[in-house]
């Protein structure tokens, strides 16, 4: 009888230990997310399942998941960091006056046959309303620039609202990939 109790106790300890480890990993290291909508097309598709990594600071052009002002979680690309001046002119991104190439948009731009993907704007003309990205905030945009509710509409995103970065699609299985910036 004692041997059976010891064995049961060991199983309970093992299961509880595994649950605690799973809770810690999901709470502090990574968590899954499902892409909802088409704002990141063609990079990400509606219903793609991804892994969000919760450690580390987001960098320019990383894809981030954050708590949006409407209470939902959004997935967008970091364009501007704190203190950056952002402007689009003739479908070209300028950060602090320097033109940047956005290779992740090239496939989409080719499909448009010389039409503009990203309409011209300055940061001041967006919901951010200032010349630079505020301290401790990010300016984010969806890759589907024509159909994305992003910092142009909702303003700068406080870094504290960022859940984490993501670049691994694990479902659907035929679409498993690592998304490059």
Residue pLDDT, tens place only, 138-171: 999 999 999 999 999 999 999 999 999 999 999 9
Whether residue 101 is contained in a domain is answered as yes
Of the candidates 3, 5, 39, 149, the residue annotated as catalytic is 39
Its domain, for residue 53, covers 32-178
Whether residue 22 is contained in a domain is answered as no
Assign residue 147 the CATH number of its domain.
2.10.109.10
Of the candidates 76, 85, 148, 151, the residue annotated as catalytic is 76
DSSP 36-105: -SSTTTTTS-TT-EEEEE-SS---TT-EEEEE-TTSSEEEEEEEE-TT--EEEETTEEEETTEEE--GGG
What is the pTM assigned to this prediction?
0.87
Whether residue 14 is contained in a domain is answered as no
With a cut of 90, say whether residue 126 has pLDDT above it: yes
Whether residue 16 is contained in a domain is answered as no
Whether residue 2 is contained in a domain is answered as no
14 has catalytic annotation: no
In the chain, the number of structural domains is 1
39 has catalytic annotation: yes
Whether residue 8 is contained in a domain is answered as no
Residue pLDDT, tens place only, 17-74: 888 877 776 666 788 999 999 999 999 999 999 999 998 899 999 999 999 999 999 9
């Amino acid at each position: 009888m004692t041997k059976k109790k010891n064995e049961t106790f060991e199983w309970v300890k093992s299961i509880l230990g595994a649950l605690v480890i799973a809770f810690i990993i999901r709470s502090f290291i990574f968590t899954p997310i499902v892409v909802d909508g088409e704002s990141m097309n063609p990079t990400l598709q509606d219903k793609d399942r991804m892994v969000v990594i919760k450690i580390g600071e987001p960098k320019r052009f990383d894809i981030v998941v954050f708590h949006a002002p409407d209470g939902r979680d959004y997935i967008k690309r970091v364009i501007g960091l704190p203190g950056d001046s952002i402007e689009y002119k003739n479908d070209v991104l300028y950060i602090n006056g320097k033109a940047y190439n956005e290779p992740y948009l090239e496939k989409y731009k080719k499909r448009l046959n010389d039409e503009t993907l990203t309409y011209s704007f300055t940061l001041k003309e967006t919901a951010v309303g200032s010349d630079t990205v505020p301290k401790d905030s990010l300016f984010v945009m969806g890759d589907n620039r024509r159909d994305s509710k992003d910092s142009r509409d909702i303003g700068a995103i406080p870094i504290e609202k960022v859940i984490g970065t993501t670049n691994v699609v694990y479902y659907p299985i035929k679409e498993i990939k690592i998304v490059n910036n």
